[in-house]
Copies of this chain bind each other. A is one copy, B any other.
Amino acid sequence: MYRVGMSGRYLEDFSVGEVIDSPEDYEMTPERIADFAREYDPQPIHLDQSAAERGFFGEMTASGWHTLSVTMRLMVRSPLFASGEVIGVGVDKMAWLAAVLPGDRLRARAEVLAVRPSASRPDRGFMNIRCTTLRGEPGQEEAVATQDWTVLVPRRQSG
């Protein structure tokens, strides 16, 4: 049985159009960019200043996978994951829209696109969520990445 604690949110507690903003931001410091790239994306354009200047973007940039991993951190600390039992199934239409630079402060925003009970399992359902990674101050935000998540969410049991 797929149950959550009393503080958790169930499938029935979400509705299409709900927007959930990350309550905090995350600074992409040069050290964090280098630490991630050394382990997971060891390309000169993320690690070496002069190689980055000769490279495609002409300056040091964060790994796109760093941006996506930070996006997950930001959403985990948002009410979307309050139940502790939201399980990732897949991602569609992920696009990196702009290079993320040292000093950028990232936020994340989720919008519920669809909510549907599982056809075969009464204890669960699925949600489609558009997740946008943003930088800049509220009101002047720029999207740096967007993606559509499919997640599994527990359903409230009737009795």
**Chain A interface (Cβ within 8 Å of chain B)?**
2, 36, 39-45, 51, 55-56, 63-66, 68-70, 72-73, 76-77, 81, 84-85, 87-96, 147, 152
A-B contact pairs, 14 of them (CB 8 A): A2-B56, A39-B69, A40-B72, A40-B73, A41-B72, A55-B84, A56-B87, A64-B88, A65-B65, A65-B72, A66-B69, A88-B96, A90-B95, A92-B94
In the complex, which of the residues B40, B63, B76, B85 contacts A42, with contact meaning CB atoms closer than 8 Å?
B76
Whether B44 lies near A84 (C-beta < 8 A) is yes
B contact residues around A73 at 8 Å (CB): 39-42
B contact residues around A55 at 8 Å (CB): 84-85
